[in-house]
């Protein structure tokens, strides 16, 4: 057992993880209504967002739900309708950050279209996020501090890399892409990383709507001498932390909620599985 995991008790890690997962399970915002996509339940729309889009073509507002669908009589496919919804939400100030990045629109397990990622929270649409817990050979953990310009959780600590899966993208490829962009590491550096696993589905009320997100995480042990280098401006600092600094960051609540859940999941695995097998 390495120095970090030797400093943590399994029961404490499990109890803390359970508390965090409960924090990640919140009901939709007050007044939110279910959203259907082509007849399948896919999200929860906040009242402010509903007022912004209720008159758009392809949006049908009922007392119990809001329905978004293609309008064949006007030559509007579902993606065009969703693009109009996203643009209107942006103009109404409902989107915190427009990224010019598309994510899949999934309802009842089926992908129907794609939409600007900034519109997912106001509509409460399901997203997928990938994270990487990267360990040094001596048992320390690499962590990354988010840029102060990030629209969400600026300045908090995170896993080495993480981000949303883009439209049409395989989660494995998203993990490699995010790790290259955020930590400057090539795919070969992650050749022995563990398969991605889902640690939680977030249901969290946010200022811009409702976060419904599958959080996937992988673990790896980096080669000796590997030093991350940010390429996209989204990370302000990297640290390779031993047990005491990691415990201090956890005690301070210095991590994002998702990152802390991912870190604790990795610690749990290292406490339950021989360390040599964790990255396989």
Give the DSSP letter string of the chain. --HHHHTS-HHHHHHHHHHHHHHTB-PPPTT-EEEEETTEEEEEE-HHHHHHHTTSTTEEE-SS-EEE--BGGGTB-HHHHHHHHHHHHHHTT--S---S-EEEEEETTEEEEEEEGGGHHHHT-EEEEEEEEEE-TTS-EEEEEEPTT-SSSTT-EE-SEEEEPPTT--HHHHHHHHHHHHH---GGGGTTPPPPEEEEEEEEEETTEEEEEEEEEEEEEPPTT-----SSS-EEEEEEE-HHHHHHHHHTT-B-HHHHHHHHHHHHHHHHS-HHHHT-
| pTM exceeds 0.85, yes or no | yes
In the chain the domains, ranked by start, together with CATH numbers, are 3-26+127-278 (3.90.79.10), 33-123 (3.30.750.160)
Give the position of tokens 């490829």: 173
The per-residue pLDDT for 1 is 57
Q: Are 30 and 209 in contact (CB under 8 A)?
A: no
Distance CA 53, CA 55 (A): 6
Q: Which of the 8 DSSP states describes residue 31?
A: T
| Token code pair at residue 107 | 């309802």
Among candidate residues 92, 19, 14, 79, the one with its CA nearest the CA of residue 271 = 14
Cβ neighbors of 87 (< 8 A, separation 6 or more) are none
Beta strands at 126-135 and 161-164: parallel, antiparallel or unpaired: antiparallel
User: Mind listing the pLDDT tens digit for each residue in 41-72?
Assistant: 999 999 999 999 999 999 999 999 999 999 99
| Angle 56-40-123 from CA coordinates, rounded to 5° | 50
Q: Which residues of the chain have pLDDT under 70?
A: 1, 273-280
* Number of helical (H) and strand (E) elements in the chain, helices listed first: 9, 13
């Amino acid at each position: 057992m390495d120095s970090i995991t030797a400093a943590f008790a399994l029961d404490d890690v499990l109890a803390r993880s359970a508390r965090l997962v409960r924090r990640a399970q919140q009901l939709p915002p007050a007044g939110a209504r279910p959203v259907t996509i082509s007849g399948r339940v896919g999200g929860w729309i906040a009242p402010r967002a509903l007022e912004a889009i209720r008159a758009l073509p392809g949006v049908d507002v009922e007392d119990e739900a809001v329905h978004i669908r293609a309008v064949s009589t006007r030559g509007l496919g579902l993606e065009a309708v969703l693009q109009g919804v996203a643009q209107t939400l942006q103009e109404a100030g409902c989107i915190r950050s427009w990224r010019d990045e598309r994510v899949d629109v999934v309802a009842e397990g089926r992908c129907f279209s794609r939409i600007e990622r900034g519109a997912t929270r106001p509509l409460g649409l399901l997203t997928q996020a990938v994270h990487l817990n990267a360990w040094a050979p001596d048992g320390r953990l690499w962590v990354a501090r988010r840029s102060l310009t990030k629209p969400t959780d600026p300045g908090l600590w995170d896993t080495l890399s993480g981000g949303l899966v883009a439209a049409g993208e395989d989660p494995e490829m998203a993990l490699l892409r995010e790790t290259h962009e955020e930590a400057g590491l090539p795919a070969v550096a992650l050749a022995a990383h563990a398969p991605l696993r889902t640690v939680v589905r977030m249901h969290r009320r946010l200022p811009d709507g409702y976060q419904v997100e599958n959080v996937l995480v992988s673990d790896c042990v980096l080669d000796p001498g590997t030093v991350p280098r940010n390429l996209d401006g989204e990370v302000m600092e990297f640290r390779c932390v031993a047990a005491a600094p990691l415990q201090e960051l956890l005690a301070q609540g210095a991590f994002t909620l998702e990152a802390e859940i991912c870190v604790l999941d990795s610690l749990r695995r290292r406490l339950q599985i021989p360390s040599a097998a964790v990255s396989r």
